[in-house]
Structures are given as C-alpha cells and as structure tokens.
Amino acid sequence: MNIGVGLLALFFITILVGFYIPMVSNSESELSDRAFYKKDPDLIAVYTGDSGRIEFAMDQALKYKTSKVLISGVYSANSVQTLLSQQKVSTEALSLDPNRIEIDHVAKNTIENVISTFHYLRNNPTYKKVLIISNDYHIMRIRLIVEEIRTKKDHFEFYYKGIPTDYWSVRNIKILYTEVIKYFKAWGFLLLWDKDSLGSSNPIEGV
C-alpha cells in the first residue's frame, strides 16, 4: 500500500514538474528581455543538442551586435564556417564576423556545457552578463547546474532565453518528460558531486 502511494505521489510530482518547466523558461526569457533592453549581453552561450538552437542564437547575435557567441558541444571536425553552413541560419547570420564566435569541442552533455561556459568566462573576466540559449524544456536544468557550479568568486550575471516548444506534439511531450527525468538525475548527481572534479572531461553521461 505504501509503495503504491509513493508511486502515485511520484507520478503526480513528475506531471507537475513537467508543467512547471516551460513556465520557468517563460519567466527567465521575460527577465532576459528586460535586462537586455537597449543593451547587449557580453556573451551569448548556446548549447547544442536539439535542432534550432544555433539558428536562434545567431538571430540573437544579429540583434545584439556587440555580443560574443560561444557554441558549446560542437563535433570536433567542425569550424565556425562549416558549422554554420550546416545550419538553417539566415544569409545575414552567415555573414557575421567569425571572430565574434567561439566553439567548444569538448562538452558532451549539459554539465560539461556549463563547465565550458565557466572556463571561458574565467579566462575572459571582462565578460559579466551572459545570455544562455536553449530549448525551453532545457532551461530549468541548465539554471540548476549553473547555480551549483558557480562559486563565490564568480561575479557573472546569468540570464536565460528558451526557444518555445509546441507541446501539442506527442514527440515534444515525450521530450519534456524525458527532461523531467534528466532534471531529477542532474539534481541527484549534483548533491553528491565533488566540485573538485570540475575539470573532469566527462562528469556523467547524459546529464
């Protein structure tokens, strides 16, 4: 009986978190719009994974003309030029100054994306305001990881912008609830994670 109640509670918690995740992204996106009204972030960081992220980030780079761009989680054979040529970016975005764009070939999961972002920022301490871009279902987990990795010495300001998802699609609902599981997995991992392992090349697969 107690097991059944526990499973039922877990089911309802999972459903509620699934509803909450897009709400968090909407709230964070509104906050970033206010923060960057008539001013540019120092860095736009986009994490590869699902389609549309790089295209959206390039549109933001066109909007924020002085921002540097970090694309994290890029296949090692790709340069900036080859990467952008493979995406559905606009002709205007293809003409962006490649010196504005940095790519990270190391990260293979979200924790490593965040670690790479912190490494980049710590090597470029003049960058203070950071806009992180991903799909809306991904934002809450990214924020969790950022806040866990951040140290007292890190005076960076993080903002988030989620790419809206159509949740009338069965595929996207499956992605959303897969993300709920990944969120709980990341939360549990971070509770036990030794921050001294920050430089690890692959902290955990799939987190």
Instruction: Enter the pTM of the model.
Output: 0.90
Amino acid type, 24: V
Position 202 in a domain: no
Position 181 in a domain: no
CB 56 within 8 A of CB 26: no
Instruction: Tell me what pLDDT residue 201 has.
Output: 43
- Among candidates 132, 158, 137, 176, which has minimal Cα distance to 26? 137
pLDDT band at 81 (very low <50, low <70, confident <90, very high): confident
Position 45 in a domain: yes
Domain count, the chain: 1
Q: What are phi and psi of 124, to 5 degrees?
A: -135, 70
141-197 pLDDT, tens per residue? 999 999 999 988 999 999 999 999 999 999 999 999 999 999 999 999 998 877 665
**CA-derived radius of gyration, the chain:** 18
Position 125 in a domain: yes
Q: 34 or 1, which is more confident?
A: 34
Position 7 in a domain: no
Instruction: Tell me what pLDDT residue 204 has.
Output: 41
CB 71 within 8 A of CB 91: no
Position 197 in a domain: no
Mapped onto helix, strand or coil, the DSSP state of residue 67 is: coil
Position 28 in a domain: yes
CATH number for position 155: 3.40.50.620
Position 201 in a domain: no
User: What is the domain extent for residue 120?
Assistant: 24-165
Rounded-to-integer distance, Cα 87 and Cα 114, Å = 22
- Among candidates 47, 70, 10, 52, which has minimal Cα distance to 172? 52
Residue 62 has pLDDT above 90, yes or no: yes
